Amino acid sequence: MELGLIDSIFNWFTEHPEILVWLGGSSLLIFTFSLLGISWLLAQIPENYFLHEKRRPSLWKVKTPILRLIILIIKNAVGAFLIIGGVMMLVLPGQGILTIVTGFLFIDYPGKFKLERKIVGSPAILNSLNWIRAKSNKPPLKI
């Protein structure tokens, strides 16, 4: 029965090759975004970002709640797009797992900051992040 499902999916893609072109193009776009975007985003993180136990909202977030809401919606939509694209890249060309992780870093969810601190606290990860930051002439992250 599973073989019949696989055959029907394969036949559907054979009948609709334009879908594969769109999927391949979006995979390439997401792959490029993830490579270029991660380096830029790492350079934007303040060096003392992980020093505090809790994340405190910045001044602009407190003064402009409507702008904060708009940015939050856009950021979560980009994160969802990256997660969906990463799942597609598990079977298409691209760095699926890296793109999925990047998507989860964009989306807001409870416990995210604690998880980020735990991951960045790993010496291998911290050294890699600081190496990328050094390429952007930024000071190393402090834990």
Measured distance CA(66)–CA(9) in Å, rounded: 44
Query: pLDDT tens digit string along 68-108?
Result: 889 999 999 999 988 988 888 787 766 778 778 888 888 98
Condensed to tens digits (0 to 9), the pLDDT of residues 27-75 reads 788 778 777 777 888 888 888 888 877 666 677 777 888 888 899 999 9
The pLDDT value given to residue 86? 83
Rounded-to-integer distance, Cα 113 and Cα 119, Å: 10
DSSP state of 139: P
* Local structure of residue 95 (DSSP, 8 states): -
Alpha-carbon distance of 75 to 90, in angstroms, equals 23
The model's pTM is 0.60
Give yes or no for a contact between 44 and 141, defined as CB atoms under 8 angstroms apart. Answer: no
